[in-house]
Amino acid sequence: MREKSLFWRELKNRLVAGLSGFSALLGLFVLGWILYTVFLRGFMAFNLSFFTELPHPPGMSGGGLANAMLGTVLLTILATVIGVPIGLLAGVFLSEFGQHSKFAHTVRFFSNILMGTPSIIIGIFVYTFLVVPVGHFSGYSGAVALAIMMLPVVARTTEDMLQMVPNALRESALALGTPRWKTTVNVVFRGAKTGLITGVLLAVARVSGETAPLLFTALNSPYWPTNLANSTANLTVTIFNYAMSPYEDWQQMAWGASLLITFGVLTVTLLTRFVLKERKTG
């Protein structure tokens, strides 16, 4: 009986291990296929005009997406400036001051809900409260939508990283008469510096490829993003518009923009892994 039981246990273990390995290989194959297709088709769109010129009118060949690239960078930077400080402060409160309070549990609960909220819902929310009252789309509203998406990622990552700092460091600083806020900034933050940077990079990677929120907020523009108070060009909405157009030249540039975003997200992800590796090594 024991030998029979051991046989079935080993058989089940091998079946599960085989299915897990097959699933991993299937995922890697699909990812490789996507990356290969995006690179093959997107690289063909790369030329000097693609990176330096504005889009040409519909039906005219040539032109580029320089305005969309600049607009994406500006929106991401502004969203980071808005979302990261608030997320850091929320994480500090949850880890250092609120901890097990009822309010902290409530914040964590709604943070988890916000983290799982579809991006299009956030876009509609910002559209209702920022776009409709003003009467037009703007880059500022787009940055706010992206910042809202960054908030829970930064807050929860900050809380987790700060809690990994040994309490002995806090107690030592407090025993020397250091105020609590100085202990948090000068001691706890230094101990969790790498983890905090990782959280910010993860948040940037989270929002850099979002399209739905910008469709309701920043929309798009064929001009340089000189004023974020108006509609602002960005790569994700440009891909959406160009990929659905009947013009072959626009479709080709959509592949090029897709490759740019893929490369950007991949770079941020690899940088995050590198930072994490350095932290574990340290």
Residue 45 is classified by DSSP as: T
User: Among 52-56, 110-114, 179-183, whose mean pLDDT is lowest?
Assistant: 179-183
Q: Are 192 and 163 in contact (CB under 8 A)?
A: no
Do 157 and 94 contact (CB within 8 A), yes or no?
Answer: no
Distance (Å, whole) CA 238 – CA 122: 20
Q: Which amino acid is at 267?
A: T
CA 156 to chain centre: 14
pLDDT at 282 over 60: no
Residues 6 or more apart whose Cβ sits within 8 Å of residue 218: 71, 75, 137, 138, 139, 141, 142, 143, 231, 232, 234, 237
Three-state SS for 196-237 is HHHHHHHHHHHHCCCCHHHHCCCCCCCCCCCCCCCCCCCHHH
Tell me the C-alpha distance between 204 and 65, whole Å.
21
Query: Distance between CA atoms of 64 and 47, rounded to whole angstroms?
Result: 9
Give pLDDT, residue 276: 64
Whether pLDDT at 280 is above 60: no
Rounded-to-integer distance, Cα 104 and Cα 95, Å: 9
Of the given ranges (32-46, 115-129, 267-281), which has the lowest mean pLDDT?
267-281
For residue 50 the two structure tokens come to 């693609």
Encoded amino acid at 50, one letter = F
pLDDT at residue number 85: 94
Cα–Cα nearest to 191, from 168, 174, 212: 168
Q: Per-residue confidence at 279, pLDDT binned at 50, 70, 90? A: low
Per 3-state DSSP, the chain is made up of helix, strand and coil in percentages (nearest 5) of 75, 0, 20
In this prediction the pTM is: 0.87
Integer Cα distance of 99 and 107 in angstroms: 11
